[in-house]
Amino acid sequence: MNDAAPDIGPGAVTRLEAVEHRIQRAARIAGRNADEITLVAISKTHDAAAIEPLLHAGHRVFGENRVQEAQEKWPAMRARYEGVKLHLVGQLQSNKAEDAAALFDCIHSLDRNSLLKALAKAFDKLDRRVPCFVQVDIGDEPQKGGCPIPELPAFLERARLADIPLAGLMCVPPQGIEPAPFFALLDKLARDNGLETGTGLSMGMSGDFETAVKLGATHVRVGSALFGERPAQG
Ligand SMILES: *Cc1c(COP(=O)(O)O)cnc(C)c1O
Structural domains of the chain, ranges and CATH numbers in brackets:
11-227 (3.20.20.10)
- Choose the residue to mutate in 202, 205, 206, 224 for probing ligand 1, maximizing ligand atoms within 8 Å of C-beta: 205
65 lines ligand 1 (CB under 6 A): yes
For ligand 1, the distance from its centroid to the CA atom of residue 121, given in whole angstroms, is: 28
- The atom number, within ligand 1, closest to the CA of 170 reads 13
Query: Best mutation site among 62, 65, 229 for ligand 1, i.e. most ligand atoms within 8 A of its Cβ?
Result: 65
The residue length of the chain stands at 234
DSSP one-letter code for 74: H
Q: For residue 88, what is the DSSP state? A: E
- Note the helical H segments in the chain: 12-29, 48-56, 67-80, 97-103, 113-126, 152-161, 180-192, 209-214, 224-227
Q: Predicted confidence band at 202 (pLDDT cuts at 50, 70, 90)?
A: very high
Q: Does pLDDT of 220 surpass 70?
A: yes
pLDDT band at 195 (very low <50, low <70, confident <90, very high): confident
pLDDT of 38 reads: 98
Residue 43 has pLDDT above 80, yes or no: yes
pLDDT surpassing 80 at residue 205:
yes
Tell me what pLDDT residue 178 has.
Answer: 97
d(CA 51, CA 69) in angstroms, rounded, equals: 14
187-222 per-residue burial string, b: 16 or more CB within 10 A, e: under 16 = bebbeebebeeebbbbbbbbebbbbbbbbbbbbbbb
Report how far ligand 1's centroid is from the alpha carbon of 127 (Å). Answer: 30
d(CA 220, CA 14): 18
Q: Report the nearest-CA residue for atom 5 of ligand 1.
A: 223
Distance 4 CA to ligand 1 centre (A): 30
Lowest mean pLDDT among 24-33, 137-146, 198-207, 216-225: 198-207
Task: Write the single-letter amino acid at 192.
Answer: D
Ligand 1 pocket member 90 (CB < 6 A): yes
Cα 125 to ligand 1 centre (Å): 30
**pLDDT tens column, 129-154:** 999 999 999 999 999 999 999 999 99
How is residue 194 annotated by DSSP?
T
Cα 1 to middle of ligand 1, angstroms: 28
The distance from CA 89 to its chain's CA centroid, rounded to whole angstroms, is: 5
Distance, CA 176 to ligand 1 centroid (Å)?
Answer: 15
pLDDT on residue 2: 45
